[in-house]
């Protein structure tokens, strides 16, 4: 139970969304009864929340745990999906709804020798349930994405010696987490409708709304003042609540990038080290912004070392540690914070066969093609929640999941009422939506940068080319389009 919050139990794992914007909005009882203890809850609390919801709604009786699905096949004669798990058990259903997660297929680095290491080793996405201690141990962390940044900051508090292997530095911003006091708790509970209304209208369904001004139309002093204010505030404000053009316009982006550069230089004592922690190949916000709670200060500790693997590449993992071109780093533990085969990875791990035995993997070989990120031509009655080309992949995710679920539920109800047993995206509608996803994406600077949001994973064969896998038009526009399709009787879908 809990999905991403079940698996990602590495030290330091916590929300980057405000807790009170992240929970389910559909049940007043759940909203009333559940109390978040911190503005950005840590993983154990979120997992408790998932279990609380499951119990409250009596969901366990409808869930079969430990059933990893191997093959799903559309039976054209019966208009049903045949679902087979790895243990050979089967199930059949008219509709198949995937809720397999955009960041659920962890990837190990393609470095030789991983299996030869004699010490402890863990991937952050499959962290053990037993406690892992770091005191008096020499620990290596490979990877400095959102996960690595959280894990490194926490591990550094107790570790004997920490070596961080960094390939690409990211622009990290302060989280400013704090407990929720009683007065704030009361206010949160009294204003849920307003909170969710604000989220609905913001680009990524966060509580932060973009400043309506352009960065370059204000004076440098005004610009600096907003940046400074946002840097001092909790959460993604600096990313999502910044001047409206900083993620679109290069010159505007350069202003916030310069500001962030200054912050890293202020916080890291050794100037040469600060330069290594400053990204040089992408501007602020064009990759997922890790939120941090003392990350840069970790590098001021005498027991922490940063290894820039662009300068000294990792050659192999040895039985004793990590060997770079410069020499061997002997360690007791290696932590792989190397990320996921994002968004399409979980689909690739299932053999999905549609009409005529067509494989989804083949259809998406050159990148996904979808209608509204929810339906696929050739794969009737399949709905892909938080799938590629769906606004939910670039979102305060539960907010967008609820939109996906409501839309799919209404469509299924519509089919029941009208006696239909089959629904499928038309080729034309799929082509149009896919083109729209590409066109919308091109406006955004993040599509010019390598990251998981562009389908890049250096450790997965065939995922080295930038691909439009997320919808970058924002949640409100996406919802508008979905609502319009439903209101007009579902153009773009063929029913049978
Ligand atoms: P990310 O953001 O994909 O980060 C993975 C990190 O691992 C990143 O720093 C990579 O460097 C690094 N990496 C991956 N493979 C290697 C190899 N072979 N050698 C060295 N370094 C490597 O994943 P996260 O788990 O941090 O975050 C994923 C999302 O989960 C996050 O955005 C949240 O929304 C939740 P690179 O940048 O590729 O050079």
136-188 pLDDT, tens digit each: 999 999 999 999 999 999 999 999 999 999 999 999 999 999 999 999 999 99
Find the distance separating the first CA and the last CA of the chain, reported in whole Å.
36
pLDDT by residue (tens digit) across 314-339?
A: 999 999 999 999 999 999 999 999 99
Q: Regarding beta strands 291-292 and 173-174, do their DSSP bridges make them parallel or antiparallel, or are they unpaired?
A: parallel
Nearest of 117, 125, 176 to residue 151 by alpha carbon: 125
Q: How far apart are CA 62 and CA 92, in angstroms?
A: 15
> What residue ranges line ligand 1, CB within 6 angstroms?
103, 109-111, 142-148, 167-168, 288, 309, 314, 337-340, 452, 458-459
Tokens 């009786």, located at residue: 61
Alpha carbon separation from 32 to 1, 20, 24, 39, 397 (Å, rounded): 22, 12, 11, 17, 21
Overall average pLDDT of the 14-28 stretch: 97
Provide the pLDDT for residue 132.
98
Q: How far apart are CA 275 and CA 299, in angstroms?
A: 12
pLDDT by residue (tens digit) across 90-112?
A: 999 999 999 999 999 999 999 99
In which element (H, E) is residue 71 found?
strand 69-75
Give the residue whose CA is nearest to atom 31 of ligand 1: 146
Provide the pLDDT for residue 394.
83
Q: Is the pLDDT of residue 246 over 90?
A: yes
3-state secondary structure of 458: coil
Provide the pLDDT for residue 256.
98
Confidence of residue 116 (pLDDT cuts 50, 70, 90): very high
Provide the pLDDT for residue 390.
94
- The Å distance, Cα 145 to ligand 1 centre, comes to 5
pLDDT by residue (tens digit) across 453-485?
A: 999 999 999 999 999 999 999 999 999 999 999
Q: How far apart are CA 139 and CA 397, in angstroms?
A: 32
- The Å distance, Cα 239 to ligand 1 centre, comes to 19
Overall average pLDDT of the 286-299 stretch: 98
Measure the CA dihedral 369/361/391/395, to 10°.
-160
Provide the pLDDT for residue 113.
98
What whole-number percentage of the chain has pLDDT above 90?
99
Provide the pLDDT for residue 183.
98
Overall average pLDDT of the 225-239 stretch: 98
Provide the pLDDT for residue 302.
98
Give the residue whose CA is nearest to atom 19 of ligand 1: 109
Provide the pLDDT for residue 393.
85
Tokens 């080309």, located at residue: 389
Overall average pLDDT of the 236-245 stretch: 97
For Cα atoms 208, 211, 216, give the angle at the middle one, nearest 5 degrees.
Answer: 140
326-364 residues labelled b (16+ CB within 10 A) or e (exposed): eeebebbbbbbbbbbbbbbbbbbbbebbbeeebebeebb
Q: How far apart are CA 390 and CA 310, in angstroms?
A: 34
Give the residue whose CA is nearest to atom 14 of ligand 1: 338
pTM value is 0.97
**For the chain, what's the residue count?**
496
**Residue 65 Cα to chain centre, angstroms:** 23
Q: Starting from the edge strand earliest in sequence, which strands make up the sheet with 351-353, in order? A: 90-93, 80-85, 69-75, 351-353
Q: How far apart are CA 23 and CA 401, in angstroms?
A: 11
Give the residue whose CA is nearest to atom 28 of ligand 1: 339
- The Å distance, Cα 152 to ligand 1 centre, comes to 13
Alpha carbon separation from 179 to 18, 103, 183, 283 (Å, rounded): 12, 28, 11, 32
Given a contact cutoff of 8 angstroms between Cβ atoms, the answer to whether 169 and 277 are in contact is yes
Candidate of 167, 206, 466 to mutate for ligand 1, largest count of ligand atoms within 8 Å of Cβ: 167
Ligand 1 atom with the shortest distance to the CA of 109? 18
């Amino acid at each position: 139970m809990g999905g991403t919050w079940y698996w990602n139990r590495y030290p330091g794992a916590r929300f980057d969304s405000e807790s009170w914007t992240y929970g389910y909005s559909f049940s007043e009882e759940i909203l009333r009864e559940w109390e978040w203890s911190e503005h950005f809850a840590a993983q154990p609390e979120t997992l408790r929340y998932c279990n609380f919801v499951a119990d409250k709604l009596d969901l366990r009786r409808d869930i079969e745990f430990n059933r990893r699905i191997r093959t799903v096949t559309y039976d054209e004669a019966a208009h049903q999906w045949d679902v087979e798990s790895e243990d050979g058990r089967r199930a059949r259903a008219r509709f198949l709804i995937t809720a397999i997660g955009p960041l659920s297929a962890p990837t190990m680095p393609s470095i030789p020798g991983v299996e030869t290491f004699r010490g402890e080793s863990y991937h952050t996405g499959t962290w053990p349930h037993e406690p892992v201690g770091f005191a008096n141990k020499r620990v290596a962390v490979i990877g400095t994405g959102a996960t690595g940044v959280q894990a490194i900051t926490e591990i550094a508090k107790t570790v004997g010696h920490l070596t961080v292997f960094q390939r690409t530095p990211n622009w990290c911003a302060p989280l400013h987490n704090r407990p929720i006091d009683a007065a704030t708790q009361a206010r949160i509970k009294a204003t849920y409708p307003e909170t969710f209304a604000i989220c609905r209208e913001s680009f990524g369904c966060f509580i932060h709304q973009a400043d309506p001004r352009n960065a370059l139309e204000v004076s440098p002093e005004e610009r600096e003042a907003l940046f400074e204010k946002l840097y001092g505030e909790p959460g993604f404000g600096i990313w999502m609540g910044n001047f409206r053009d900083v993620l679109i316009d290069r010159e505007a982006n350069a202003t916030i990038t310069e500001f962030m550069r200054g912050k890293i230089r202020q916080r890291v004592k050794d100037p040469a080290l600060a330069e290594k922690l400053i990204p040089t190949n992408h501007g602020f916000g064009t990759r997922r912004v890790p939120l941090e709670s003392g990350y840069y200060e970790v590098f001021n500790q005498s027991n922490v070392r940063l290894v820039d693997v662009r300068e000294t590449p990792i050659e192999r993992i040895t039985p004793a540690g990590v060997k770079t071109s410069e020499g061997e780093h002997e360690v007791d533990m290696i932590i792989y914070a190397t990320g996921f085969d994002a968004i399409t990875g979980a689909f690739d791990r299932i053999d999905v066969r549609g009409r005529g035995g067509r494989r989804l993997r083949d259809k998406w070989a050159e990148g996904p093609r979808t209608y509204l990120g929810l339906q696929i031509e050739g794969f009737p009655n399949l709905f892909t929640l938080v799938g590629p080309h769906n606004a939910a992949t670039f979102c305060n995710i539960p907010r967008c999941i609820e939109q996906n679920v409501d839309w799919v539920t209404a469509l299924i109800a519509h089919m029941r009422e009208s006696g239909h047993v089959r629904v499928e995206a038309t080729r034309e509608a799929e082509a149009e939506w896919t083109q729209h996803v590409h066109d919308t994406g091109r406006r955004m600077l993040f599509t010019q940068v390598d990251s998981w949001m562009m389908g890049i994973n250096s450790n997965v064969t065939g995922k080295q080319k930038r691909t439009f896998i997320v919808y970058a038009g924002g949640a409100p526009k996406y919802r508008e389009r979905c609502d319009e399709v439903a209101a007009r009787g579902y153009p773009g879908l063929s029913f049978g």
